[in-house]
Each structure stands twice: as C-alpha cells, then as structure tokens.
Amino acid sequence: MNDSRPDPDRLLARVQASEARAARGKLKIFFGAAPGVGKTYTMLEAGREQAKDGLDVVIGYIEPHARPETQALVLGLDVMARLEVPYRGTRLVEFDLDAALERRPQLILVDELAHSNAPGLTHAKRWQDVSRLLEAGISVYTTLNVQHLESLNDVIAQITGVAVSESVPDSIFENADEVELVDLPPGDLLERMREGKVYVAAQAERAVQHFFTKGNLMALRELALRKAAERVGAQMEDYRQEHGLAGANAVTERLLVCVSPSPFSVQLVRATRRIAAGMKAPWIAVHVETPRDARMSQTDHDRLAQTLHLVEQLGGETATVSGDHLADELIHYARSRNVSKIIIGKPNQPRWREWLRGSLVYEVTRKCGDIDVYVISGDPDKRPPRPSRSAELPRTQAGYAAAVASAVISSLICWPLASHLDPTNLLMVYLLGAVLIAVRFGGGPSVLASVLGVLSFDFFFVPPQYTFAVEDTQYVFTFFGMVATVLTISTLMSRVRFQADSARQRERRTASLFAISQQLAAARTPEQITAAATRHVADAVDAQVALLFLDEHGQMTPVGTEGGGVQPGAHDQAVARWVLEHGEAAGRGTDTLPGSEGLYLPLKAAHGTVGVMGILPPASWRANEPARLHLLEAFAGLVALAVERIDLAAEAARVRLQMETERLRSSLLSAVSHDLRTPLSVIIGGCSTLADESASLDAATRRELLASILEEANHLNRLVANLLDMTRLEAGALEVHKEWQSIEELVGAALGRMAKPLESHPVVTHLDPELPFVPMDDLLMEQVIVNLLENAAKYSPPGSPIEISAHAVDQELVVEVADRGKGLAEEDLPRIFEKFYRAKSSTSRTGAGLGLAICRGIVELHGGKIAAENRSGGGAVFRIRLPLSTNLPPIPVAEVSADV
C-alpha cells in the first residue's frame, strides 16, 4: 500500500538528522574513475573559488604531484605543515589531524580519502580523520577513486585484476553532502599518461601498466558513472519521501546472507551489500555453527572473523546460530527475523558430492516457503576449501590404543562364553565394546574398534575358527552392520557432544552476563563495580580488565584495582581519553588507534559516556571476533548502567539532604518568628493601650503595663542576642580570642550582668581557691555562664537557690551550674543541647531554645564538653569540662608584700 503521506516518524528523524547535519561540516567528494582524471586539480580550483569568496580555506594535505599546473593552484592558499612519522627507517608524510582541528578553518582540502595512515596515528584511515573534521564543524573537500569504495572492491578486482587494499565504507560516500564526478574519457586519460602527466607512486609502476588498459578504464568509468547516478537516485528518493510523493517503499525488506569460513563469503557479503543498498533494506549475515565447525582450523576461524568484521563495517548485522542442520537453522532464523530475501552462494562442488552430502541451495530453496532466495555465483576458480582437520588430539592416540584394548578384552570375555552362546550373541560383546569406544573417543577409534572386533570375532569365534575366512556369508552382513552401527553411534555422539559444548559455551556466556548483572545491581561503590567487572569479564574472555574514570586532575585513573587490573601508561591514558570523549571503542582490534596494546570500550549510559573499560587481551586472542566484541559491549553496557545508578543514587541522596535542610530551616524559621512575635505583641499591645487609654487607666495598671513591656523588651533583647550568637557560631564567624583567664573572674562578671534576673534566686558560689588559669575567650565564656544562669533561673521556682562551682579535677577544669527546679526529663537529656530544642515539660515562653546550643558551641570551640544531668535532691546540674593546659602562663615573680 502506498501511503502518500510521509511517515511522521521518518520525517522527524529526517529533521533531527538535518539539524545534526547543520552543525557538521559539509563534505564534498571529487570522485573519479582512475588516478589522473583531474580530481585534485578540480578540488584545488574549487577551493580557490571558496577562498576568493572570503572563506577561510586551508590545504590540509595534497599528494605531491608532479604536474606543475596542479602545484600552481596551491599557491595563494594556506598550506598546513605535514606530520612526519618515522617508520622503519624512513619518514612517512601524513596529514596532521590535530593541527587541523586546532587551526579550525572553515574549509579544508584533503587529498586521497582512502589513504591508510601510518601506524601510530590516532586513526587507521584518512576517512576517519575526515569524519572527525566534519564533526568539529570543518567542511572538507576530498578526492576518491571509484575502486576505493568498499562494496565495489571485489568487482573492480575482478575487472582490473588488481587488488585494491585501501577502501572507504560506502556510507561515507552516500552521506557526503556533494559528490562531483570528474570525468575524463579513457582515450584522453591514456593520452595524458603517455605524456607523463599522471601521478603514479613509484612502487605501483608495474601494476599501473596492467591497470591502464582501455578496457579497464572504460569499465571503471562506467562504475563511477553508475555510482554517481545511484547517488542522484537516492537523493531523488529522499526528496520524494520528504514531500510525500509516491515512491517505492522498501522498508519491509530485510536480507539475510549465509557466511562461512570460505573466502567466497566475502564476495557474497559485498554482493549482499550492493543489493541491500539498492533496496535500501537492512541486512544480516548469519553464520550457522554445525558440528563440523568444531574442527575448524585457525585460518578458517580467522577468515570467518574477518568476514563478519567486514559485514559490520559495511553496515550489516551479524549473528551466529548453532544447529545441526544448516538449511533448517538458516530458514528458522530467517523466519524469526522476518527476512524477506536470503542470499546464498552457488555451489560448485561436483555432482556426486552434492548427491551424497546434500546441497544447501537445494535445501534452502525447497524449504524457504515465501522467502525469496538469491543465488550468487562466484569465481569458478575459487572453490570452498575442505574443512581442514584440526591437529590430532593426543587423546585420539589414546583412543586408538583403547580401541585395540577393547577388542582384546571383548575376546577375552567371549572366550569362556563361546560354548554357551550363539556366535551372533557373542558379537554383541564386541559391539558393546566398540560402542563404548565410540562414545568415549569418537569416530576414528570406534571404526578401528569395530574392525578389530569383527576381525577378532571372525578369527576366534566364527567357523572355521582361527582363520579369517568366513563360511556363512550371513556374517559378512553382520560385519557391515556392526561397522555401520558403530559409525552411526559415533557420529551421533560427536554431534551431541558438539551441541553440548556450544550450548555450554553459550550458557557460560549468558551465565556470566547474568552473574555480573546481579553483582552490579548490588554494587554500591565504584570499587565494588570494578571488582565485579574484573572478575566476570576476565573470566569470560580471559583478559585483564580495568575501569577508568576521569578524576579531579583530568587523568583517567583506574578505580579499585588490586591485582588483576591494568595500570594505564601514558599511551593508554591518551586512548582512554579519546574513547571517553568520542564514545566509541578504540584500541586493538578496532579501526582507531589499532596499535594499542589494550582494547578500550566506552561505558555508555543514558547521559553520556561515564567511563572507559580497558581490556588487556592475552596473546591468544585472534583477530576481530565480532561475537566477542558484542559480549564485551554487553558487559560495558551493564557496567555503565551500574556506574550511572551509583552516581544518580548519590545525587538523589544529596538532593534529599538539601530538601531536609530546607524543611528544617523553614520549620525553624516559623518557630523563631513565633518567639519573636510573642514579646512584640505584648510590647505593642501594652504601649498602644497606654497611648490610647492613659487617662482612663489607674496608676497601678499603668505601672503594671509598663513593667511588663520592659520585661518583654528585655526578653526580646536576649532572644535577639542569642539568635545573633547562634548565627555567628554556625557561620563560623565567631572569633575566639583566647587569653589566660580566671574562671572566678568570669563567674563574677556573669553574676554582675545577671544581677536583675537573679534577684529572686539566692546564688551560692563554691569556687576552689587558686584555680589555674585556662585559655578562654572571656566574652564567650561569660556568655556561656550567663546562659546557664538564665536557664537555671527560668526553670526553678523563685526563692530556690542556684549554685555555681568550679574545681580542677584530673587535668580538667569543671564548672557546674545547678538549680533546684523540676529537673530534666529522661527523654530530653540527650537532645537538650540541640538548636531550638525545648524540654517537653516547659510551659513558659523561653528563649527559642538556643541558649544551651550556644553554650555547647562555645564550649566545643574551647575544646571542652558540656553535659546535663539531674541531681540528687531534685533539680538539674549543667557541667562544663575544659581541658587544663600543662604549660602555665608566665607569671611575674611574686613580690614580697610591701609593708609600708
């Protein structure tokens, strides 16, 4: 059904993509069929035009061209210095990406998009450098030959016979903002070549002769034209979609290609890519692991890994399934993924083998149902190699020995039974022996066991005995039957074993993912995360692991590694930083900084990359295994989530604390405002009464009102003083000037200040004579005693005595203020020194509960302690302990008392 209204999701995606593109630099590729058509020349011309228009244009890298015309164009433009990289005794000249990023021109010209960078540079390929430039907002002009497009690689190799090693992913070409085809008819190009106007690298002389034939050039030109036309077609399609014009909708297509270790798979993959690109459909490459694959050799394994890696590079998805039967598994998987077309390679095995083993193509086409099957034929010279046998296992030798042993043992067992049993039954013993060998040792030994068994049986028990001749031809049948049975069993066994093995391996991987996710769920600190990650990842892929995070110095440091962790050196630091900034994997086995020792994966959480997981693989790791990389990425994802979770939890705790503080503050404010308003209302009420009704009031009432106004005002005064003290104490703005002070003096001063409030309480002092001086701030300490006295006066009935005492005890000065009031309730005791805390039993209006808190603050500033308890006989006692200094103040020599 063709819906002419554009799909809103796709439009949104397109809008978002275009916004993203606006921030990116624009890429213009000068595209040509072969070297020498004039791409660099055209690029330089275009660059100069831009410079004339006022753009900041810089030449990033131009291949040193012999043509003076091209060189002439370079003049007048800024040329960036090239990076010299020493390599094997020579100096290679490369494009300096970092300098370009720093320079930040509006437009940069970089030749040879497909160039491979010298080892040691950040990226393996120049197209990756160009991607970075675009991301940084710098527009790029570059040149590209058609043979460097990844998907055309093998086609061109076929056409020209020259294998091209440098390639650029098609996505770069397809997503370029502009592609200008620089076209030159082959005849003209050959003319130029003869005139010596084409730049050719010295090493490639011979290959070039081969390359520059008219036939090749025509074919290349056609490919280039076709590619350029495809691009235009794609742009038309996009335009149509955007504007709701009718067009073919290829969304429902999905392709599946079956890959194997055969080198032919590479061609299949590229072909699939071309078809998929044409249909604009997603595609999957699947490898079906069958029991035969258990004996894959190292080279096969590597080739398969490389093929799968190529799939990912070309933008396909990879999957591995295991099963018994190739065709069935393939179809099953295709159905589960809603594949619409399957692509397989045309078989080129001889007919008889096909008849014997079955043909994949035939099976698939028969069972595919409504899925289309495309059969791609490959180079007839390239035959799929036979699955080479892996090295003989030592245990196979043991197997053969055991096979011999089984025949011998079976014979020994049968000997005494020979007279009692039919020969056919005796055979069962041999059969059992051979079967046991099959189960234990597999194919080879079991065949040997069965053959030996048959021979022994024939020799010892089949008439005529002690010969290998056979009288009754029925036994021939028996013999064959036995061999066949044993072989079948051994095949079945090996299949079962293989499946069990791969299931076990899969289970191990899943279990390890599960285990790590469980551990991560429980982790509360980065150290715990690291421990979990180190253990599980190291187990799963047999490598050393470290988690790196950005610390406050801007360094990537490993967290919580003790043994089994990787300590990053300077180079690894740089790689890790790169990974953190770009959110992409780098290091060994990737395209970025592949020379590194370790592999670095970004820990990507919802808010961005939170850290880097560094993996130091052992030497036993073989080339890029996408399955392993997927597993590591899965681990990295789990770890990232755990890290994010911890960060968010800490954030939540902080926010909660803030909210708590806010809440506390607002409740305190309301308490304080109440305490301030109450005396104010008395004052205002009293004054207004006096003001308005003075005449009608009698003298006594007036005196009363005035007295209460004065009392409330004093009360308010004390309250404000306390609030100010508390504020200063909390803000740490309380300046403590300690000098040697006499506590006796301070008590005297305090009593002097409190003369009026203490009017109704007799005060008794018990200060030790000759108390040592203590370093104290006199004002603050006086305030402490004042507060304690105030408290005592408030909470004890008029007329009850208040006692002050001071003693030197155990290197401490102990000062006590005691009253005979109601005492303190048990529940109040621990909290009485808290800000704004008021004893539950207090009924009177008190000074906002700050006095004791201030006492504690000041006493603690002096390094002392304050405590409260009830006394025997009723009432409470407040005790201050101040440490006594061991060194005493220098006191002038005592004079003789002068008697005048």
Partner 1 sequence: MAAPCILVIEDEQEIRRFLRASLGNHDYRVIEADNARDGLRQAEDQHPDLVLLDLGLPDVDGLEVIRRLRDWTTTPIIVVSARGREVEKVAALDAGADDYLTKPFSVGELLARIRVALRHATRAGESGESTFTRDELSVDLAARQVFVGPNEVHLTPIEFRLLATLIKHAGKVVTHRQLLKEVWGPDSVFETHYLRVYMAHLRRKIETDPARPHYLLTEAGIGYRLSTE
Residue 268: partners with Cβ closer than 8 Å, 6 or more residues away: 257, 258, 259, 343, 344, 345, 376, 378
Cβ proximity of 295 and 390 under 8 Å: yes
Smallest separation, CB 717 to partner 1 (Å): 6
To partner 1, the closest distance from the beta carbon of 765 in angstroms equals: 4
Q: Rounded to the nearest 5°, which phi and psi values hold at 685?
A: -60, -50
3-class SS of residue 81:
coil
Query: In the set 275, 486, 747, 882, which binds partner 1 (CB under 8 A)?
Result: 747
Residues 740, 772, 867, 871: which binds partner 1 (CB under 8 A)?
740
Interface of this chain with partner 1, residues 181 to 210, rule: CB under 8 A: none
Minimal CA–CA distance to 525: which of 344, 421, 646?
646
**Residue whose CB is less far from partner 1, 536 or 718:** 718
Question: Quick check: 826 binds partner 1 (CB under 8 A)?
Answer: no
**Which position among 312, 778, 812, 816 is part of the footprint of partner 1 (CB under 8 A)?**
778
Nearer to partner 1, 314 or 774 (CB): 774
Q: Could you say whether residue 619 binds partner 1 (CB under 8 A)?
A: no
Task: Return the amino acid letter for 686.
Answer: G
- Count other Cβ atoms within 10 Å, centred on residue 425: 11
Stretch binding partner 1 (CB under 8 A), from 51-59, 189-197, 737-745, 854-862:
737-745
Q: Of 191-199, 552-560, 591-599, 748-756, which part binds partner 1 (CB under 8 A)?
A: 748-756
Stretch that binds partner 1, among 15-23, 89-97, 151-159, 773-781 (CB under 8 A): 773-781
**Closest to partner 1 by CB, 489 or 804:** 804
Q: Is 719 in the site for partner 1 (CB under 8 A)?
A: no
Euclidean distance between CA atoms 789 and 755, whole angstroms: 10
The minimum distance between CB 546 and partner 1, in angstroms, equals 57
* Alpha helix positions (H), 694-769: 699-730, 743-753
Q: Which of 85, 157, 550, 763 binds partner 1 (CB under 8 A)?
A: 763
878 binds partner 1 (CB under 8 A): no
Pick from 68, 752, 798, 873 the residue near partner 1 by CB under 8 A: 752
State both tokens at 605: 């959480």
Which of the ranges 136-144, 254-262, 497-505, 777-785 carries the binding residues for partner 1, by CB under 8 A?
Answer: 777-785
Kindly state the tokens that stand for 273: 């890519």
Q: At what angle do helices 394-417 and 423-441 cross, to 10 degrees?
A: 160
Which of 18, 717, 811, 842 contacts partner 1 by CB under 8 A?
Answer: 717
Q: Give backbone dihedrals phi and psi of 183, rounded to 5 degrees, phi first.
A: -110, 140
Asked if 749 touches partner 1 (CB under 8 A), the answer is: yes
- Number of residues in contact with partner 1 under rule CB under 8 A: 35
**Which DSSP symbol is given to 838?**
-
Q: Which of 744, 812, 816, 834 binds partner 1 (CB under 8 A)?
A: 744
Please tell me whether residue 732 binds partner 1 under the rule CB under 8 A: no
Of 340, 741, 870, 885, which lies in the binding site for partner 1, with binding defined by CB under 8 A? Answer: 741
Nearer to partner 1, 790 or 828 (CB): 790
Dihedral of CA 787/789/793/795: which sign? positive
Which residue among 675, 782, 803, 819 contacts partner 1 (CB under 8 A)? Answer: 782
Report the candidate in 237, 265, 235 with the shortest Cα–Cα distance to residue 250: 237
Binding mask 798-817 toward partner 1 (x if CB under 8 A, else -) reads ------x-------------
**Nearest partner of 614 among 536, 516, 540, 544, judged by Cα:** 544
Evaluate whether 160 touches 10 at the Cβ level (below 8 Å). no
Q: Other CB atoms closer than 10 Å to residue 668's CB: what's the count?
A: 14
Q: Which CB, 172 or 747, lies closer to partner 1?
A: 747
Our CB check for partner 1 shows the closer of 19 and 735 to be 735
Q: For partner 1, which is the closer residue by CB, 398 or 736?
A: 736
Beta carbon of residue 773, minimum distance to partner 1 (angstroms, whole number) = 7
- For residues 507 and 515, is the Cβ–Cβ distance under 8 A? no
Secondary structure of 299-349 as H, E, C letters:
HHHHHHHHHHHHHHHCCCEEEEEECCCHHHHHHHHHHHCCCCEEEEECCCC
Sign of CA dihedral 299, 303, 309, 313: positive
Candidate list 116, 573, 742, 885; residue touching partner 1; CB under 8 A: 742
Q: Is residue 711 within the footprint of partner 1 (CB under 8 A)? A: no
Q: Does 418 bind partner 1 (CB under 8 A)?
A: no
Residue 723 binds partner 1, judged by CB under 8 A:
no
Taking CB under 8 A as the rule, does residue 896 contact partner 1?
yes
Residue from the set 739, 759, 827, 860 that interacts with partner 1 by CB under 8 A: 739
Under the binding rule (CB under 8 A), the answer on residue 765 touching partner 1 is yes
404 alpha-carbon distance from chain centroid: 56
Quick one: which of 109, 144, 117 has its CA closest to 37? 144
Q: How far is 281 from 264, CA to CA, in rounded Å?
A: 22
Separation CA 116–CA 94 (nearest Å): 10
The reply on whether position 692 binds partner 1 by CB under 8 A is no
The β-bridge relationship of strands 739-741 and 774-776 is antiparallel
Rounded Cα distance, 38 and 44, in Å:
10
Instruction: Tell the smallest beta-carbon distance from residue 582 to partner 1 (Å).
Output: 59
DSSP per residue, 584-633: S-EETTSSBSTTSSSEEEEEEETTEEEEEEEEE--TT--S--HHHHHHHH
- Radius of gyration of the chain measured on its C-alpha atoms: 46
The answer to whether 668 contacts partner 1 (rule: CB under 8 A) is no
Of 1, 391, 731, 898, the one binding partner 1 by CB under 8 A: 898
Query: ω into residue 464 within 30 of 0, thus cis?
Result: yes
Whole-number Å distance between alpha carbons of 753 and 771: 22
The angle at the Cα of 779, spanning 774 to 785, to the nearest 5 degrees, equals 75
Would you say 538 or 713 has its CB closer to partner 1? 713
Among 245, 248, 652, 779, binds partner 1 (CB under 8 A): 779
Cα separation of 240 and 225, whole Å?
Answer: 22
What does the angle CA 469 – CA 473 – CA 476 come to, to the nearest 5 degrees? 80
Least Å distance, CB 737 to partner 1, is: 9
The yes or no reply on residue 758 touching partner 1 (CB under 8 A) is: no
The token pair that represents 704 in the structure block: 């009363």
Options 46-54, 206-214, 738-746, 839-847: segment touching partner 1 (CB under 8 A): 738-746
Q: Which of 551, 550, 619 shows the shortest CA–CA distance to 581?
A: 550
Give the residue, chosen from 49, 69, 472, 745, that forms a contact with partner 1 under the rule CB under 8 A.
745
Residue 235 engages partner 1 in binding (rule: CB under 8 A):
no
Binding segment toward partner 1, per CB under 8 A, in 541-549, 680-688, 845-853, 887-895: 887-895
Contact flag: residue 229 with partner 1 (CB under 8 A): no
Cβ closest to partner 1, residue 374 vs residue 740: 740
Residue pair 276/150 in contact by the 8 Å Cβ criterion: no
Smallest gap, in angstroms, from Cβ of residue 890 to partner 1?
A: 8
Q: Taking CB under 8 A as the criterion, which residues in 335-374 touch partner 1?
A: none
Q: Are 676 and 718 a contacting pair, CB within 8 Å?
A: no
Q: Which stretch binds partner 1 (CB under 8 A): 87-95, 256-264, 562-570, 747-755?
A: 747-755
Please check whether residue 159 is in contact with residue 213, taking contact to mean a CB–CB distance below 8 angstroms: no
Q: Report if residue 748 touches partner 1, rule: CB under 8 A.
A: yes
Q: How far is the CB of 898 from partner 1 (least distance, A)?
A: 5
Distance of CA 9 to the CA centre of its chain: 29
762 in contact with partner 1 (CB under 8 A) = no
Which residues lie near partner 1 (CB under 8 A)? 713, 717, 721, 724, 739-742, 744-749, 751-752, 763, 765, 767, 769, 773, 778-779, 782, 804, 889, 891-892, 894-900
